[in-house]
Amino acid sequence: MADKKISELTSTTDLNTTDVFPIVQSGTTKKIQFSDIQKEIVNYLTATNITAQASTPINLGDSAYASSEIIKLSWTGSNGTAVFTLPDATATNNQHRVIRFISDTTFTTNTRVHLTPSGSQTIDGSASYYEINKEYEGIQIWSDGTEWFIIQKKA
């Protein structure tokens, strides 16, 4: 690849995670692996589905959710509250991270998910939770590396 101009490179639809591509960044030619590009595309377009249940806590800091950017919430079982603990805003992989939550038609005013900050961290300066308790409710949060900020609500 290093001995060819970009115009001389051939195209393919048979890509694997180790394929390398040239890019130009700030006037310098660099390389990037397809796995890095694919990760960004997959995370942005594919929601992580979580089924909430009364009195069943979920730690969003677990590795299963480490790269989730869109979380679609469903509810199962009896009415009640599920507590979802947000990831540690100070962790390297959460600094400048955006997470979007949206609930589906299984939510009612009697089914609730409490998005709760980790430890002594806050959401918009509050140590309290953010409650999702109706269908098609959405929230987008962002971490500055210290705390979480609500940057968009849909309700």
pTM equals 0.72
Average pLDDT score over residue span 20-31: 84
Is 114 in contact with 83 (CB distance < 8 Å)? yes
pLDDT tier at 33, thresholds 50, 70, 90 = confident
pLDDT at position 42: 54
pLDDT tier at 67, thresholds 50, 70, 90 = confident
User: Residue 126 above 70 pLDDT?
Assistant: yes
pLDDT tier at 39, thresholds 50, 70, 90 = low
User: Residue 9 above 90 pLDDT?
Assistant: no
In b/e form, how buried is each residue of 46-62, taking b as 16+ CB within 10 angstroms?
eebebebeeeeebebbe
CATH fold for domain 47-154: Jelly Rolls (2.60.120)
What pairs with residue 58 in β-bridges?
84
Over pLDDT 90: what percentage of the chain? 64
- Specify the 3-state DSSP secondary structure of 102: strand
Residue ranges covered by each domain of the chain = 16-46, 47-154
Average pLDDT score over residue span 19-40: 78
Instruction: State the DSSP code for 86.
Output: P
Four-CA torsion 79, 68, 42, 98, nearest 10 degrees: 110
Kind of pairing between the strands at 98-103 and 70-75: parallel
Top-confidence residue, 155 or 96: 96
